Amino acid sequence: MKRLKLAALFFGLFLGATGSARAATLDYAFKFSGGGFSGSGDLFVNSATNVVQNLSGTINGSTLQLIAANSSDLYTQSGTGLQWLYNDLFHKSGTPFDNYGLLFSFGSSVVGNIYSIGSQLYLSVSNPFADYNPGVQISMTISQTPLPPGVLLFLTAIAGLWFLLGRKKASENGFAVGRPRPS
């Protein structure tokens, strides 16, 4: 019984450690449309640096993929020579992306960048070329995704099992609730 409780304790600590690591990343749902483009998905943002770590979703039915940051904040698409400045910095209030924007790819090697000029958001894409500079105006909604209620239910179940294991051990030692302790 002691080994089982120890295993449950280590399992709980493992869940707590992975949960705290995951808590460092916030999840935001997004939707945008404009200029013949529409997209939706999720942004995964580092809560300390506000940099987008990953994204999932689609634009016009094509899957999005984040383009990894580099030290120069400049991306040049091979074959076309088109360039974008980007820093993948997310702002929780106001305009979600600055003038450098969020860089990603979709479809068959199409590069896109959502950025702002003032408070207006633009989507700059490599194909069609006409939508490269300055891009098309888009409207975007972003909302933080709450923690799923199943996680809290799971943690409550773990705590309940821990309590029941403790009562069972007390019962095995002859200390049941409602009975006087033997002398």
Q: Show me where the domains of the chain are located.
A: 2-21+148-172, 26-144
Report the sign of the C-alpha dihedral through residues 81, 87, 90, 94, in that order. negative
Distance of CA 102 to the CA centre of its chain: 15
> What letter would DSSP give residue 180?
P
Q: What is the spatial distance between Cα 142 and Cα 30, in angstroms, rounded to a whole number?
A: 4
pLDDT in tens, 102-125: 999 998 889 999 999 999 999 999
Q: What is the spatial distance between Cα 120 and Cα 98, in angstroms, rounded to a whole number?
A: 10
Nearest to 118 by CA among 132, 135, 97: 97
pLDDT in tens, 44-103: 999 999 999 999 999 999 999 999 888 899 999 999 999 999 999 999 989 999 999 999
Chain-wide mean pLDDT for the chain? 84
Whether 75 and 86 have beta carbons less than 8 Å apart is answered as yes
Task: Report residue 158's pLDDT band, with 50, 70 and 90 as the boundaries.
Answer: confident
pLDDT computed for residue 121 by the predictor: 96
